[in-house]
A and B are shown apart, each in its own frame.
Chain A
Amino acid sequence: MSLSIQNLTANIGDLPILKGITLEVPKGEVHAIMGKNGSGKSTLAKIMAGHPDYTVTGGDVLMDGRSLFEIAGPDERARAGLFLAFQYPMEIPGVTIANFIRAAIQSRLAEGEELEATDYYANLYAKMDALKIPRAFTSRSVNEGFSGGEKKRCEILQMAMLEPKYAVLDETDSGLDIDALKIVSEGVNALRSPDRGFLVITHYQRLLDYIVPDRVHVMVDGRIAMSGDKNLALELEARGYDWVTETAAEPALA
């Protein structure tokens, strides 16, 4: 059981963005993808979630053996168990957090099956409390007027409520101060489980002090240039991304 990315290539328009990505996140593990801006990290996340702006030109992504690309819409992929925490969560004016998450959960239920309101709110409040999100937020419009930290906590709240099989966290640490980073990381760690895999995309090593990964992959120009254990993140922090570029380029020169 894994989220398996196999030689994935993708374009935006005619421009190749992903140039052959291969990595496998087994259930129960946390993998990190690090890379500079523009290396294709966020593109990878959006393509897996089904963003319509990108064209997959080759390769595959298998979620527990099933190709994501055979699951038509982003909504169906989500219902199949994939979750994407957005780098820039969208504002939805007039739609409250409570109603939004309820609609998302209701979408996973069989036709005619109704979510029980009392249970739903009990669950929602418990998870909000854990993420230190004030309960009054249930009646706030999704992400509207939220600070960066509030938006990211709200992403983790949605993940906690939707209980995905695999979660992709796209730069969840961006825009967070250290306190918010701790809260968000605790939220993620609380969801780590043998039944769930994580792909954590980040620019900075800092997040990985709190969400300690099983594997670290470094992405350069649409490819995985290097993989290693958690210490790779520290080494990267010390040596910088140019070190990866140079190291990765060596075999090609040889």
Chain B
Amino acid sequence: MITAPESPAVIETNPFPHWFQREQAAALADYESTPAPTRRDEAWRFASLKALDLSAFVPAPEIASEGKLINASTGLGDFAARFVFGNNALVHHEAPALPEGVIVEPLDVAAYEHEALFRAYFMAQPVELGSHKYARLHKAMLTGGVLVHVPKNVEVALPIELFYWVEGENSSVFPHTLIVLGDNAKVTVIDHFKSADGARAFACGINDFHLGRGSQLTYAAVQDWSRDTLAFHLNSTLVGRDATATALLANFGGGYVRGESLSKLAHDGGRSVMLSMNLADGTREIDQHTLQDHAAKHASSDLLYQNVVDDAARTIFAGIIRVQEGESQTDAYQRVRNLLLTDDAIAVSMPGLEILNDDVRCTHGATSGGLDPDELFYMQARGISKKLAARLIVAGRFNSLVERIDNEALRDRLRAVIADRLGV
């Protein structure tokens, strides 16, 4: 699949400035020289490594059904901006309610027009949860993606909505959402990852968030790739002093999905809320790795992952809370709840702590169980079939996470997505 960026054909279509293209070439070389994960790598211990075979994937062609995709890119009634990408290319954008000074631009435009921002923040965080190699590939192949920059003291009232579509058999897409918030800025962003035609695809996406002092980010991602898609979603969040990041990652699609989420509490008083709802059914495997990295005082992190595992599907959760030496008065919570709907469903949970300090409060735990028979009986006694009752319970678990989002329009949208996905 890999076409070297230095070949003339690619330079012609590569929208980025030459300095970045050179970095892309270096990233590609790094990708190629980095060995593929093996069973011996701790971060890949439980993953189905055969799913990582990229040989069949090809660069995504130009989108064939642009109008259809744009029409299907509807969610929120009111939004500050909406961008639609089809196979890495921007096919539609509108920004009806962006306050003065707020930047929402495709990354290739941002690399020219906001070069200082781009250079300072683009993939500035290390990828340290196992997928370094794929992050290099992402950088090498990047053509699309969005920069959202909200300057100091600016609040974007309405959410920003981004759609990333993939179309065509074995197409490869590289979504990227980069959010940079100035001090006391506030914004809500939702990413949709969708398949136009249900074909097998490869998605390798990165979301990087940088929160300035006192800023607030509310972010949601709804991943609904096709059932055979190999997907990487690598998130990093750098939380500034007294800033709050709340991120909810919903995985409803994909075949093998690798998620990595790192929240770095780098400044005192920061808070990161890390939520995820995962619906693993069929033979889907959702393999998630998280790090709550506390490198500041009075910082807090709160992680809650809800996994629902049906059929012969599998979820893997490996999460670490790291409190660095000298960083006292930390509150860190990590909880994973696995709901297993069949005997063949598997949920692997590996919570972990690396605490180099005494003055901290950390709790972590993972629970696994099936549906509560008394809860089912109660619902059945109202005339609701067992099947529907199970779907309602699953939707309920997911909706409980949605309650943690402090934007009503986004909550309504997410509830609608959940209801639609579960048929309730």
Query: What is the CA–CA distance of A52 and B395 in the complex, to the nearest angstrom?
Result: 24
Contacts of A89 in B (CB 8 A): 378
Contacts of A162 in B (CB 8 A): 382-383
Contacts of B381 in A (CB 8 A): 49-50, 74-75, 78, 83-84, 86
Q: Does B266 contact A (CB under 8 A)?
A: no
A74, A100, A162: residue with the most chain B Cβ atoms closer than 10 Å:
A74
Contacts of A100 in B (CB 8 A): 379, 382, 392
Contacts of B393 in A (CB 8 A): 92, 95
Contacts of B388 in A (CB 8 A): 103, 107
Interface string of A72-90 (1 = CB under 8 A from B): 0111001100011010011
B 133-162 contacts with A by CB, 8 A: none
Q: Does B397 contact A (CB under 8 A)?
A: yes
Q: Does B396 contact A (CB under 8 A)?
A: yes
Query: In the complex the two chains form, is A90's CB within 8 Å of B378's CB?
Result: yes
Contacts of B395 in A (CB 8 A): 94-95
CB distance from B275 to the nearest CB of A (A): 13
Q: Does A141 contact B (CB under 8 A)?
A: yes
A 44-93 contacts with B by CB, 8 A: 49-52, 73-75, 78-79, 83-84, 86, 89-93
Contacts of B379 in A (CB 8 A): 75, 90, 92, 100
With A52-B373, A92-B393, A103-B424 known as contacts, the answer to whether A86 contacts B384 (CB < 8 A) is no
Q: Does A2 contact B (CB under 8 A)?
A: no
Query: What is the CA–CA distance of A92 and B398 in the complex, to the nearest angstrom?
Result: 12
Query: What is the CA–CA distance of A162 and B384 in the complex, to the nearest angstrom?
Result: 12
Q: Does A104 contact B (CB under 8 A)?
A: yes
Interface string of A94-123 (1 = CB under 8 A from B): 110001110110011000000000000000
Contacts of B392 in A (CB 8 A): 92, 95, 99-100, 103
With A95-B392, A95-B393 known as contacts, the answer to whether A51 contacts B377 (CB < 8 A) is yes
Query: What is the CA–CA distance of A190 and B377 in the complex, to the nearest angstrom?
Result: 27
Partner of A141, one of B372, B382, B398, B400: B400
CB distance from B127 to the nearest CB of A (A): 33
Q: Does A158 contact B (CB under 8 A)?
A: yes
Partner of B396, one of A51, A86, A94, A101: A94
Query: What is the CA–CA distance of A51 and B374 in the complex, to the nearest angstrom?
Result: 9
Partner of A95, one of B372, B374, B385, B396: B396
Contacts of B377 in A (CB 8 A): 49-52, 74, 90
**Residues of B within 8 Å of A, CB-based: how many?**
26
Query: In the complex the two chains form, is B380's CB within 8 Å of A73's CB?
Result: yes
CB distance from B308 to the nearest CB of A (A): 12
Q: Does B386 contact A (CB under 8 A)?
A: yes
Q: How large is the interface on A (under 10, 10 to 19, 20 to 34, 35 or more residues)?
A: 20 to 34
Query: In the complex the two chains form, is B386's CB within 8 Å of A73's CB?
Result: yes
CB distance from B59 to the nearest CB of A (A): 41
CB distance from B390 to the nearest CB of A (A): 12
Query: What is the CA–CA distance of A182 and B420 in the complex, to the nearest angstrom?
Result: 41
Query: What is the CA–CA distance of A92 and B399 in the complex, to the nearest angstrom?
Result: 11
Q: Does B375 contact A (CB under 8 A)?
A: yes
Partner of B380, one of A74, A93, A94, A99: A74
Residue on B nearest A80 in the bound complex, by CB = B383
Contacts of B389 in A (CB 8 A): 75
Interface string of B353-379 (1 = CB under 8 A from A): 000000000000000000011110111
Partner of B382, one of A51, A91, A158: A158
Query: In the complex the two chains form, is A79's CB within 8 Å of B383's CB?
Result: yes
Residue on B nearest A105 in the bound complex, by CB = B383
Query: What is the CA–CA distance of A141 and B398 in the complex, to the nearest angstrom?
Result: 12
Query: What is the CA–CA distance of A108 and B383 in the complex, to the nearest angstrom?
Result: 7
Partner of A78, one of B375, B380, B386, B397: B380
With A52-B377, A86-B378, A90-B374 known as contacts, the answer to whether A104 contacts B384 (CB < 8 A) is yes
Interface string of B378-419 (1 = CB under 8 A from A): 111111111011001101111110010000000000000000
Contacts of A50 in B (CB 8 A): 377, 380-381
Contacts of A107 in B (CB 8 A): 382-385, 388
Query: What is the CA–CA distance of A162 and B388 in the complex, to the nearest angstrom?
Result: 17
Query: What is the CA–CA distance of A148 and B27 in the complex, to the nearest angstrom?
Result: 62
Contacts of A75 in B (CB 8 A): 379-386, 389
Query: What is the CA–CA distance of A51 and B396 in the complex, to the nearest angstrom?
Result: 23
A 131-182 contacts with B by CB, 8 A: 141, 158, 162
Query: In the complex the two chains form, is B382's CB within 8 Å of A78's CB?
Result: yes
A49, A86, A93: residue with the most chain B Cβ atoms closer than 10 Å:
A93
Partner of B399, one of A84, A94, A158: A94
Query: What is the CA–CA distance of A78 and B392 in the complex, to the nearest angstrom?
Result: 18
Query: What is the CA–CA distance of A158 and B373 in the complex, to the nearest angstrom?
Result: 20
Query: In the complex the two chains form, is B382's CB within 8 Å of A90's CB?
Result: no
Query: What is the CA–CA distance of A91 and B375 in the complex, to the nearest angstrom?
Result: 7
Residue on A nearest B389 in the bound complex, by CB = A75
Query: What is the CA–CA distance of A49 and B395 in the complex, to the nearest angstrom?
Result: 25
Closest 7 CB pairs of A and B: A94-B396, A94-B399, A78-B383, A74-B380, A94-B400, A90-B378, A95-B396
Task: Report A's interface with B, CB cutoff 8 A.
Answer: 49-52, 73-75, 78-79, 83-84, 86, 89-95, 99-101, 103-104, 107-108, 141, 158, 162
Task: Report B's interface with A, CB cutoff 8 A.
Answer: 372-375, 377-386, 388-389, 392-393, 395-400, 403, 424
Contacts A/B (CB < 8 Å), 6 sampled: A74-B380, A78-B381, A101-B382, A103-B392, A103-B424, A108-B383
